[in-house]
Amino acid sequence: SQQGEEDPQALSIQEGENATMNCSYKTSINNLQWYRQNSGRGLVHLILIRSNEREKHSGRLRVTLDTSKKSSSLLITASRAADTASYFCATVETSGSRLTFGEGTQLTVNP
Amino acid sequence: KAGVTQTPRYLIKTRGQQVTLSCSPISGHRSVSWYQQTPGQGLQFLFEYFSETQRNKGNFPGRFSGRQFSNSRSEMNVSTLELGDSALYLCASSDPSRTSGREQYFGPGTRLTVT
């Protein structure tokens, strides 16, 4: 079963614009991770944020985590056509190690 | 290091048959997890193996099973295939020497079609 929801389900923007994706989850977590998937291929790990962290940066990526609201957001700045992919959040619960994925956001960046 | 490899990449089977999928983790990674991805159910956890032992199991019927070998390579088996088993099966490896909640490295997946 899915941990929660991602919003929006689909997002279409122009190159150079910023893209923001949101993720909500239901249980207490140890950490939250974001992954990217290109067209039915394997997932690529982007960034991990621990439950005691509020914000993390990696290159053009910025992730925030609000454990009181059980939500996270992924911001991709200055998007490129190559960023076109599906983006998934995944949580790891405090008592385990399995990843529980959200439904994903399909991002399309138009050149 | 070489990435996670999965074989075969594509597979077509008939209802009632069984199938075995293989996964070779990144060198040094002793934890291997399997996930099923379908358009309807999304990404769902199947099971995790560590040092040849199943450490965690998702909510799938007993037709789904797996194992891990001493070299950390893993296989998963699905018996008595059903049409609903058509999916992308993803294997992921991780380094247990890191603190818990470590990131996972995914293979390209095996696309299984059941007809």
* Average pLDDT across chain A, whole number: 92
Do B33 and A100 make contact, defined as CB atoms within 8 angstroms?
Answer: no
In chain A, which among 49-68 make CB contacts under 8 A with chain B?
Answer: 50
Distance CA B114, CA B103 (A): 31
Average pLDDT rounded to a whole number, residues A55-67: 97
Answer yes or no: is pLDDT of B99 > 60. Answer: no
**Option in A48, A100, A102 nearest B103 (CB):** A48
Task: Kindly give, in sequence order, each residue whose CB lies less than 8 Å from that of residue A99, ignoring residues fewer than 6 positions away.
Answer: A33, A90, A91, A92, B33, B35, B43, B45, B92, B104
Judge whether A19 and A76 are in contact, CB under 8 Å.
yes
Is residue A28 within 8 angstroms of chain B, CB to CB? no
Tens of pLDDT, residue by residue over A18-43, are 999 999 999 899 999 999 999 878 89
Contacts of A99 in chain B (CB under 8 A): 33, 35, 43, 45, 92, 104
Vertex A46 angle, CA A45 and A50, to 5°: 95
Is residue B88 within 8 angstroms of chain A, CB to CB? yes
Structure confidence at residue A80 (pLDDT):
97
Q: How many CB atoms lie within 10 A of CB B103?
A: 20
Structure confidence at residue A24 (pLDDT):
95
Structure confidence at residue A50 (pLDDT):
93
Distance CA B19, CA B13 (A): 8
Structure confidence at residue B59 (pLDDT):
94
Distance CA B40, CA A104 (A): 12
Closest residue in A to B95 (Cα) is A97
